[in-house]
Amino acid sequence: MAGTTSSTVAELYANIVADLQPFYEDAVLLPNDQFIMNKFNIAGTSGNTVQVPLTNAATNGATVGEGNSIVAAATGNFDPTGVNITLSKKGVGTDVSEESLEDGGMSVVSNAVLRNLSQGLAQATDVAGFVELKASLTPTDVGAGGANSDFTTNFVISPDALGYASKRAPTVSMFYDNDLDTHNFRATIRDGFKVVRPTFGVPVTSLAAIGSSAETLADIAQAVATLRSVNAPTMLNGFYIAFVDPALELGIASQLNSVTASAIGDLSMIGNRTLLQGIIGQAAGCEFYRTNNLPDAA
């Protein structure tokens, strides 16, 4: 590109505005329909909190003698509760110098900006969701149980464990800094997570160093058994979701190598690029997904 004009910059901005949403959706992991059943979009409404109504546990029936009270034998009062999902703004920015536009070419600059903005927002969103899982899940950790930054907290969850709300889709704005001669792009999103069923997810803490994780499929199976014991729903394919870091992925993948091909996920069913790249396989009642956005155990 020999030079830049106002129309060139306007075209760049228009392309980024048009492409940010699909690029973000390809990069983000957690806010997918198969992972989170409780999703809410409150764009255009007032307030920054969504209350999710929850019902109490199902009532067990009981044997009732003739002429005796049914309620006394099997108490079944409907006692709904609720949890609040609070939205927060997440943002990322990148600056493009006039020289970059002049020398780099439209496609190169556009792709670089889109990658920085979409991946930055996606990472901030996923990190927030995993931090909420770590803070609010109540079952006992079935992993190593470490408590410092040498350990990663992985998760096995039901799609009913986490709630997600959004109010602002990925949005980008641009302004020109004439002092620095740069075009400044700023992208934001407003969303939030809240664990709505604290017993529907199990932490699996493991060492974060590659080759050091000692957790096995037996630990994952224990997490699955914990979820089954509280009647936690699975995904539509009958599996729970296991989010693991690269160290635990190595251990799990090496064990999956000896599992028949029928246990490996059908990639044609995966909805976006992050899911396609993240899936490891299926075993022990879980579908495994790798992510680098899990919290450490500190």
| SS3 of 79-138 | CCEEEEEECEEEEEEEEEEHHHHHHHCHHHHHHHHHHHHHHHHHHHHHHHHHHHHHHHCC
Residue with tokens 């910059």: 9
Written out in words, the top-level CATH class of the domain with range 6-56+79-290 is alpha beta
Distance from C-alpha of 293 to C-alpha of 266, rounded to nearest angstrom:
24
| Residues of the chain under the 70 pLDDT cut | 1-7, 56-59, 75-79, 257-272
Domain spans, the chain: 6-56+79-290
User: What integer pLDDT is reported at residue 153 of this predicted model?
Assistant: 95
User: What integer pLDDT is reported at residue 187 of this predicted model?
Assistant: 95
Distance from C-alpha of 168 to C-alpha of 166, rounded to nearest angstrom:
6
- The residues pairing with 191 across neighbouring beta strands, listed in sequence order, are 88, 166
**Considering only CA atoms, which of 79, 84, 75 is closest in space to residue 56?**
79
Determine which helix (DSSP H) or strand (DSSP E) holds 170, and give its type and residue range.
Answer: strand 162-177
User: What integer pLDDT is reported at residue 57 of this predicted model?
Assistant: 65
CA distances from 111 to 2, 23, 118 (A): 19, 10, 10
User: What integer pLDDT is reported at residue 78 of this predicted model?
Assistant: 67
CA distances from 239 to 59, 82, 187, 288 (A): 26, 26, 35, 10
Give the CA radius of gyration of the chain: 23
Residues of the chain with pLDDT > 90, as a percent, come to 51
Distance from C-alpha of 206 to C-alpha of 153, rounded to nearest angstrom:
7
> Which region, left, alpha or beta, applies to residue 272 given φ > 0 means left and ψ of -120 to 50 means alpha?
beta
Contact in structure between 205 and 155 (CB atoms under 8 Å): no
